[in-house]
Amino acid sequence: MSVIGPREIVTPFRPIPLEVPEGMKHNEFFNSTENLNDLVNNNGLLVNAENLLLYRKALGHSTEFDCSIIYNTSQTILNPLGRPVRRTQVAESVKQVWNRMNQIIIAYMLEQYPDPAEALILAGEASLDATWPLTSPGVPSIRMLHNHFVVFPTATLRAAKPADPANPNLTDGGQNSLFQSYMREVYREFFNRALKLNILKPARDADSRLGLTGYPQGLPSWEIQGGADALKDVHFWKEYDEVLKGFIDFYRTFFSQVSTRNAPILPDVYFPEQVESVLLFNNDFMKTAKKVRDHCITDAKYANAIRWQPAFKQIIYRNDAGNLIVTISQNSIGNAITELLGVVVNRIPDAGAYTRHEPALINRLCEVRRRLVEADLGEGIATAYWRKE
């Protein structure tokens, strides 16, 4: 029997043939808008009039199935700080197309990998706010909303070596998350009081955790009643956004109190009544804000690492029982969305190993693209690796 705990897998990739300008670090360049030319020309699969670009992940998480959709506003909004970085900032017309694309890709993954014992399936996004310390290398100047669709064969995870549980990138409740360490009860109470949900129902910790990795740990989670069919209902996606709105209110309210003692309620919160009654009148909430504020005042390094704006990971994944689960977590600096589920990906440059997986991977990605084109969700892109159709 496998030991329960986070796993570290090795994923090969083909070295990207790009010249990094002199004076730039690699991560700075890969986070730049210039790198979008590579996404389109070498890895682009589909694009539509809403500026949503489906592409293969060149530095991927998995060689089984791995792609992303980015809301490419680099040509229409030149100010990086003015670009949408979460779904709540996206126009309804774009969000409708985005949600339909999500639904079709998730349905494809569930169809191709119907057995939860054989594959871990996840889809979701991590915040791309420019909330890293501004003087740090690799501040994400690309700053555009994108999401991930990933499949890991369970056999690969089972055979992988255990990851170091102290790895700072394994950030979720019960590990390094500030919310879960000091304010777990008020965090959950706020979600329960603020959110009016019909399709999503709260899930127990035991139901949300994966048996193999033991993750996620201690996070608020919800089961999607109706499973994959519920993703065809626009009301599900509205509830999915409600979870994000609740998280944003909690995060912004907390750090407003860290920044300024007894700060007034923010003027543009989504759930003002619950913010006032549940958060600003909760002793644990205010005590923790004081703890962080005092630490910031006396520790320059700690203060420089604070993310003052909402940083999150929100995903849909399949649990061991085959149910679809939604969860959301505070995001740490540098971690990947897979680590929310206890999967650490060690990417290594190995063109030969990647090439062995590539034909099957491309076939799957092109089939997803065909379904999206058929649903009038975009047009195919031709690259050196695949045709337009």
Structural domain contains residue 328: yes
Q: Supply the pLDDT for residue 173.
A: 53
Average pLDDT score over the chain:
89
Give the pLDDT of residue 165: 80
* Average pLDDT estimate for 223-231: 97
For residue 83, give every residue at least 6 positions away whose Cβ sits within 8 Å of its Cβ, in sequence order, or none: 73, 74, 77, 143, 144, 145
- The model's confidence at residue 311, banded by pLDDT at 50, 70 and 90, is confident
Tens of pLDDT along 251-310? 999 999 999 999 999 999 999 999 999 999 999 999 999 999 999 999 988 887 787 888
Domain extent, residue 17, equals 7-380
Under the banding of pLDDT at 50, 70 and 90, the label for residue 218 is: confident
Residue 1 included in any domain = no
pLDDT over 70 (residue 333) = no
Mean pLDDT along residues 156-168: 89
Predicted pLDDT of residue 29? 67
pLDDT of the residue at 32 = 63
Total domains, the chain: 1
Token representation of residue 57: 């992940």
Residue 2 in any domain: the answer is no
Question: Quick check: is 385 in a domain?
Answer: no
- pLDDT score of 137: 55
* pLDDT above 90: residue 90: yes
Residue 334: pLDDT band (50, 70, 90) is low
Concatenate the DSSP letters of all residues of 296-361 into one string.
HHH-HHHHHT---S--EEEEEEE-TTS-EEEEEEE--TT--GGGGGTEEEEEEE-HHHHHHHHHHH
Residue type, 175: Q
Q: What pLDDT is recorded for position 217?
A: 85
For the chain, helix (H) and strand (E) counts, in that order, are 12, 13
Dihedral angle, C-alpha 327, 156, 99, 320, nearest 10 °: -50
Residue 386 lies inside a defined structural domain of this protein? no
Average pLDDT over residues 181-201: 93
Q: Give a yes or no: residue 209 inside a domain.
A: yes
Give the closest residue to 179 by CA, choosing from 277, 86, 254, 124.
Answer: 254
Supply the pLDDT for residue 150: 98
Average pLDDT, integer, range 99-118: 98
For residues 162-174, average pLDDT: 74
More confident residue, 254 or 33: 254
In a domain, 195, yes or no: yes
Using an 8 Å Cβ cutoff, are 145 and 334 in contact?
Answer: no
pLDDT exceeds 80 at position 119: yes
Is position 63 within any domain? yes
